[in-house]
Structure 1
Amino acid sequence: MLYGDQAYELEALYDQYLNDPSSVGDDWARFFASLSNGHSATQVNGATRTGGLAGERRKAQAVQQLVLEYRRQGYLASHLDPLGLTSPDHSRLDLSVYGLGEKDLNESFESGIPSMGAKPLRDIINRYEAIYCGSVGCEHFYIRNKEERAWLQERIESENFIAPLDKYTRLRLFEKVYQAEHFERFLATKYVGKKRFSLEGGESLIPLLDTAIEHGGETGLEGMVIGMAHRGRLNVLVNVLEKPAGIIFAEFDENYNPDTLDYADVKYHLGHSNRKMTRSGKEVALSLLFNPSHLEAVNPVVMGSVRARQRVNRDPDRKKYLPVLIHGDAAFIGQGVVAESLNFMNLKGYRLGGTLHIIVNNQIGFTTLPSESRSTAFATDLAKGFQIPIFHVNGD
């Protein structure tokens, strides 16, 4: 993709090609020749265009600028808010900004996706809308490492990213969502008025964690250490770590005596460890660490736990153990320990090989709206400073 000064350089190179095609090298000559698909400047796909080669060049550049904008800000047009409370400005995706219009939709241009090649502008827009403006929005264009950015872009723009899920996967996801909803419904009915910090509205967290465990097992993951606050903790304990539900129900009982155990704490502070067998037959050790009533304080504890496991189990490549941190939207950007923990990411003595951060966004921090609690458009904007790719997902 081209920035402003690069666009001028390309235009100058194209002018040079028009004067003498042999002066720009074979690769550039083939590229410029493809802009007119082998036809004359005014005759493409059998239709006459005005403006000649200069007009063709401007249109091709305009399409490339539009593609660039989808990659850079397409997430602003994605369908993320089930409540419809926010509507970010995505006017830069309007065709008119680039001098394009309805009359250009049937003309063919290079799509910018190698597997797609040259396609009518209508198809190009539909493809980029599906990739960047659906129920998942991707932010990665600010990453300075070109190799990392290209690696992400190649996968985001692949067919696999937007391909429909197979029947088995859809049924598995439905099963996990149903389990999460059924659990919350039961607690709400059985233990009316009891403090439980429900996951309601964020039940998609359960199939997300299940998928991470399954995929991790297939790729050699041996252990996952999870840190999270109160919200949804009981659901994760039962439906992810498979802690016996009867124990949690007993903790709701008024006659429950925690002094009979080795710990005396509220149920939504407690952790659990288990070993889970994936569908592919791989065993993954799971640990949800105990958590105090201090949001995000568990983050460095999880990181230290994973680093210790990597060292004890001789995992120098840091691929066998995955830290997973689950945040609330207000706490992620509001608690200083989050930035302090992220700051360790590239330090030799603290490297973990990567952490999966999941923000469960219920669009309110205690009683405070996002517009009253942060100065950024998204809670995730904090991560941009650390060159971390961001995926916005509609939880519905």
Structure 2
Amino acid sequence: MLRAVLAARSPACVHNGRYLYSSWTAHAQVNVRSSAPDNIVENSSQTGNHREQGPATAENLPAAVRRFVDAYRTHGHKTAAIDPLGLWIPMRDVPELDPLAYGLTKDVEVNGYLSLGQRTTLQNLTQALLHTYSSKISVEFEHMIHQEERQWFAQRFEQLMGEPIPAEVKKQVGKILLKTAVFDSFLANKFPTLKRYGGEGAEGNLVFVDEIIRLAFAGDYHDVIACMPHRGRLNVLTVNLGYDPSYMFRKISGKSEFPDDVKATGDVLSHLFTSTDLTAEDGKKLHFSLIPNPSHLEANNPVAVGKARGRQQSLQAGYYRRDQENDKKVLCVQIHGDASFTGQGIIAETFGFADLPHYSVGGSMHLITNNQVGFTTTTGRSSIYASDAAKINSCPVIHVNGESPEDIIRATKLGFEYRERFGKDVVIDLLCYRLHGHNEVDDPTMTQPVMYNAIKARKSVPVLYSEALRQEGQLTEEESRKVSEEYDGSLRQALSQLDQFKPKAHHLERQWSGLVQAGKTVSSWDTGFPIDALKFIGAKSVQIPDSFNIHPQLLKTHVKNRLRAMQEGTKLDWATAEALAMGTLLMQGFTVRVSGQDVGRGTFSHRHAALTDNHSNELYVPLNFMVDNQETHLEMCNSTLSEEAVLGFEYGMSIESPKRLVIWEAQFGDFFNGAQIIIDTYVTSGETKWLLQSGLVMLLPHGYDGAGPEHSSCRIERFLQQTDSSETTVDGDDVNFSFVNATTPAQYFHVLRRQMVRNFRKPLIMATPKTVLRLPAATSELLEMAPGTSFQPLLPDPSANTDTVEKVIFVSGKHYYTLDKIRQEEKKRNVALVRIEELCPFPTEAILKETRKYAKAKTFVWSQEEPRNMGAWTFVNPRFRNLVGVELKYAGPQELPAPAVAIGHVHQQQIQDTIKQTFE
């Protein structure tokens, strides 16, 4: 036996739990990793099953009996007693379960199946099948595509139903349930008006997590990455994971969960999280991360999957194929709510990663905390089960009664073994209830009178299981009292010493050590690179094996043009600058991941970082073969047609390691709005809420070229509205993210490299070009990327005569090239065009320096192609006035309800009007 000691946020926080290498857990390894044929389940007599011979299977039963058994395997769940309240049974009359339908009326031959001997009565067989498939646990698996999986699942489930739970495990679970009852009671008594979203009625969550930890220890796992909504979250944190309750009490008292000298706004009580080490007596380690969650239910699912994928990659050298051994080192656990699992589209989007290259994690363990009510209603779905959405991926589903802890253990073990064996997702539907309303001060009886009459009449799960263990002699009344009193005492002590408690920040530890929080001043970072190395990388970025059949058009344009540009050191386009940035980072020991829809080629057929063999369809990424035995890799990930889940996944990847540059590119800039929840709750606010740094880059193609409302704007105004940039105080690096609208490839090169070169991480949002990708005027020279060069938040006008300029036009992004062309054609020599390349942090000092150069300037103009109520105007105008002391004149389209017009001649008229306003 083992006693696990959970070292959590402080040395004083010690949680004792017993994670046991009993025959119960050890058998999982024997069974899952056995070399026996897949249609054989090994003899389990050593696991506590008292059958003298190996378990017989249904596969060798007489035909009629086999059909009867298959009926229970398929339909048994419809009559199962899985609702602890007894109010719901999917179907009470299931004709398929009538033995007469199969001609069975008397004794039947069963050949040892379910330990029934060679022959038995029909009644005995029926009772055995009812016990197995229609009791407080049942399964759905006949929808699974592969026969091998269905057969294994049925046999292993039938075997587990015949195996007793080890006494040590029962006792451990009994103690956990007693502790969670004490925890809920303590908070209810001390803070009666607190909205804590307690775990009463759903204590099975803790049984599930406890069994996951036990199985992970037994399976030599390195990490568990878990996500969970608010319901019962505090219980799991404190009871299962040893989270120091002092942080929780400090939060309840109205103080920050972080030290006072750390810049953070924090998050609400029910969103607290932890990243903690579990250590077993024999020295085994298991790191358990319960990631932060926003109030937007299920938004944390793809974040957890992305973080798990990132952790798996940190443990392996290869990035292009799933390393199944490392999949078994990191387990992703997703805990859901029933109404949200059915109602949120991100569920289906995240399931879409299950077997997708560059996104799969070798299966997740899912638990639906099915309290049978969504907010206050029970009419929240059309499907029979809350878990039906999981069938999109042919997942097995295990339904289990929340009042049967031992069946929850069986369900967890079965799912864990299935995931290990087949590398696929599995879903446990835990039917339970909610003791209180939506929160502890809500009255649910107004909308759920029948349900809450049934709830009030029931004893709690901890009480019921304690009574059962006492009857078995497993946990005496004195032992139960001692567990409860000791845990209550530890909570009382933590609360009484709250005034002396000093919180610690744990945000820059482990792989994040060495980084800092950004400062209040803007720093300049040398992001240049030696010219010879740049030429080497540029050549390698288009070098392919002799046996590779490249598309002939790419050979003429992409390859030859890049080689020529690298040789001459001029006319480097956007894609070349990007390849150089990524290649230099790879050479410096960073990994790079680019994700999105068709990013290998690029939406505008400009990137071609991943090449497709013209004969075999095989992919080749040249930057991964710059040197022999290259250790760092560029991962080009063509994603599903999803924004919200994919961006959440990439955010999860980015918070796992500061050594990985993670880039998400929208197909068009405005497509980010499908991911608005991830942007609002994670990308733009994750550091201030949770102290989680992220270097995520969002590339959003932007530019008005007549494409109409949906393919023109990346909604610059929305992002600028979300910055914590001040209108009256000069910005520093400590703004929550950078927003860049660069105009040259060299600027793009530098800003990508800056993401990794800095000693802190901040998200970068970029309005990237479309037509400018191939614009001859928008090219750079290698010298602009040489050592000593860096990203410039403002680009002065190189051709303006400061002594004669009367009008200074400020502009950002692609619109600069439109105006510059007109200026040259019409020879407007008294005008200066100044580009603001980085809108946030707002480059106050650079603008002040620039405006002082134009002593004779009488007019300062802000010109943009976006409508007046969009773009950067409402952001830059007050900052020019308050920080620079300059009154700007607006030049651009007037207010519109849509980002752009879709009538060609109106669009052209807008352009002409904007040009006229700008130069008049």
Counterpart for residue 123 of structure 2: 122
Counterpart for residue 286 of structure 1: 288
Alignment of 1:1-396 (within 5 A): 61-89=63-91, 90-91=93-94, 92-101=96-105, 104=106, 107-110=107-110, 113=113, 118-120=118-120, 121-158=122-159, 160-254=160-254, 260=260, 261-263=262-264, 264-278=266-280, 281-314=283-316, 316-317=323-324, 318-369=327-378, 372-396=379-403
Quote the offset at 1:309 in angstroms.
0.5
Aligned length: 331
Quote the offset at 1:239 in angstroms.
1.2
Contact 1:76/1:88 (CA < 8 Å) preserved in 2?
Answer: yes
Q: Secondary structure at the match of 1:327?
A: strand
Contact 1:241/1:273 (CA < 8 Å) preserved in 2?
Answer: no
Q: Secondary structure at the match of 2:275?
A: strand
Quote the offset at 1:112 in angstroms.
8.5
Quote the offset at 1:87 in angstroms.
2.2
Write the deviation string for residues 147-186 of structure 1: whole angstroms up to 9, x where unpaired: 111121221121x333222221111111111111111111
Contact 1:64/1:112 (CA < 8 Å) preserved in 2?
Answer: no
* In structure 2, distance between residues paired with 1:87 and 1:262: 52
Counterpart for residue 43 of structure 1: none
Quote the offset at 1:126 in angstroms.
2.6
Quote the offset at 1:256 in angstroms.
5.9
Quote the offset at 1:140 in angstroms.
0.6
Counterpart for residue 55 of structure 1: none
Letter in 1 for 2:186: F
Write the deviation string for residues 348-389 of structure 1: whole angstroms up to 9, x where unpaired: 1111011000000110000111xx211110011111121100
Comparing 378-387 and 119-128, the one that deviates more: 119-128
* In structure 2, distance between residues paired with 1:85 and 1:112: 36
Quote the offset at 1:286 in angstroms.
0.4
Stretches of structure 2 that go unaligned for 5 or more consecutive residues are 1-60, 318-322, 404-920
TM-score (norm 2): 0.35
* In structure 2, distance between residues paired with 1:354 and 1:238: 27
Quote the offset at 1:307 in angstroms.
0.5
* In structure 2, distance between residues paired with 1:348 and 1:111: 44
* In structure 2, distance between residues paired with 1:257 and 1:98: 64
CA 1:81/1:115 → structure 2, altered by over 3 Å: closer, same or farther? closer
Q: Secondary structure at the match of 2:125?
A: helix
Letter in 2 for 1:146: Q
* In structure 2, distance between residues paired with 1:381 and 1:144: 16
Contact 1:218/1:282 (CA < 8 Å) preserved in 2?
Answer: no
Contact 2:224/2:331 (CA < 8 Å) preserved in 1?
Answer: yes
* In structure 1, distance between residues paired with 2:281 and 2:206: 16
Q: Secondary structure at the match of 1:380?
A: helix
CA 1:255/1:226 → structure 2, altered by over 3 Å: closer, same or farther? closer
Contact 1:276/1:285 (CA < 8 Å) preserved in 2?
Answer: yes
Select the structure that is richer in helix. Answer: 1
TM-score (norm 1): 0.79
RMSD over aligned CA atoms reads: 2.2
* In structure 1, distance between residues paired with 2:377 and 2:356: 35
Letter in 2 for 1:326: I
* In structure 1, distance between residues paired with 2:279 and 2:258: 30
Quote the offset at 1:127 in angstroms.
2.3
**Higher gyration radius (CA):** 2
Letter in 1 for 2:271: H
Contact 1:218/1:280 (CA < 8 Å) preserved in 2?
Answer: no
* In structure 1, distance between residues paired with 2:108 and 2:99: 15
Higher RCO (CA 8 Å, separation ≥ 6 residues) = 1
Contact 2:348/2:392 (CA < 8 Å) preserved in 1?
Answer: no
CA 1:284/1:345 → structure 2, altered by over 3 Å: closer, same or farther? same
* In structure 1, distance between residues paired with 2:268 and 2:307: 23
CA 1:281/1:127 → structure 2, altered by over 3 Å: closer, same or farther? farther
Contact 1:213/1:278 (CA < 8 Å) preserved in 2?
Answer: no
Percent identity for Structure 1 against Structure 2:
35
* In structure 1, distance between residues paired with 2:356 and 2:333: 19
* In structure 1, distance between residues paired with 2:257 and 2:214: 36
